[in-house]
Amino acid sequence: MSAQTSRSRLKAWARRLWPVAFWLAVWHIASVAIGHDILLVSPLDAGERLIELAREGDFWLSIGLSLSRIAAGFASALTAGTLLAAASARLPLVRELLAPLVTTIKSVPVASFVILILIWVSSDRLSVAISFLMVFPIVYATMLEGIEQTDPDLLEMADVFEVGRLDRLRFIYVSQVLPYFQAACSLSLGMCWKAGIAAEVIGLPATSIGEHLYEAKVYLATSDLFAWTFVIICISIAGEALFARLVATVVRAIERTL
């Protein structure tokens, strides 16, 4: 690695980190000015509490269980949204039947869904259902748009050369829809994570991030609240970055086979 490349990377990291350092300083100054830890703890106190929590086994178990529940909802919505979008593009009747359902899901507040779903399922499954409902409309609408935007000239050429359904799906639809799939994942992942955690705060499943956030509120443990919030932010950023790389890797692998 050349010295110039190293300097460029250092400058890039500096550009990313200085805004973070600025707002941490503002946070610290505000906490000192207020002077009450219950109202606003300093970033140092929140960091110390985070280190303490990280030494506890329950901390990592809660993160793992929350992640698994929300990931299950996300994966289910991704699968259902893609399959139903394909069915809607093929069958107008399916699209007509799903249109009011998708509109309703997009319009109803998360809190209403949480209360309603708690009547039907246990709190352990609540975040799965809420994550599904937040992601499904985005994936469905985006994938349906991608399928409809498929180049008609390619489809006409496939008809002329009598290309089979499987080859048409593999060589035309997949390549045309992949960018929309990436966009759907990018748009829905962060929303899914936030909605899933919000559902846990209301449903209070045992050993979850939402349960710890609620306990922090009840016991006025502001340092715990900020520590867990920092965990949520880090997981969201890291999760989106890792999933984006995973999707990009899969997309490149698929494109090489086309």
CATH number at residue 183: 1.10.3720.10
Q: Are residues 8 and 124 in the same domain?
A: no
Q: Are residues 64 and 20 in the same domain?
A: no
Q: Are residues 108 and 157 in the same domain?
A: yes
pLDDT band at 167 (very low <50, low <70, confident <90, very high): low
* pTM (two decimals): 0.85
Q: Which amino acid is at 131?
A: S
Q: Is residue 119 a contact partner of residue 172, using CB atoms and an 8 Å limit?
A: no
Q: Which residues, at least 6 apart from 79, have a Cβ–Cβ distance to it below 8 Å? A: none
Provide the domain count of the chain: 2
Query: Could you list the residue range(s) of the whole structural domain that residue 12 is in?
Result: 1-35
Class of residue 214 by CB neighbours under 10 A (exposed 0-12, middle 13-18, buried 19+):
middle
Q: Give the Cα separation of 197 and 204 in Å (integer).
A: 10
Q: What is the DSSP string of 206-236?
A: SSSHHHHHHHHHHTT-HHHHHHHHHHHHHHH
pLDDT recorded at residue 149: 80
Q: Are residues 28 and 47 in the same domain?
A: no
Q: Are residues 16 and 51 in the same domain?
A: no
Residue pLDDT, tens place only, 106-153: 888 888 888 888 888 888 889 999 999 999 999 999 999 988 887 666
Q: Are residues 29 and 154 in the same domain?
A: no
Task: Return the structure tokens found at 254.
Answer: 């698929």
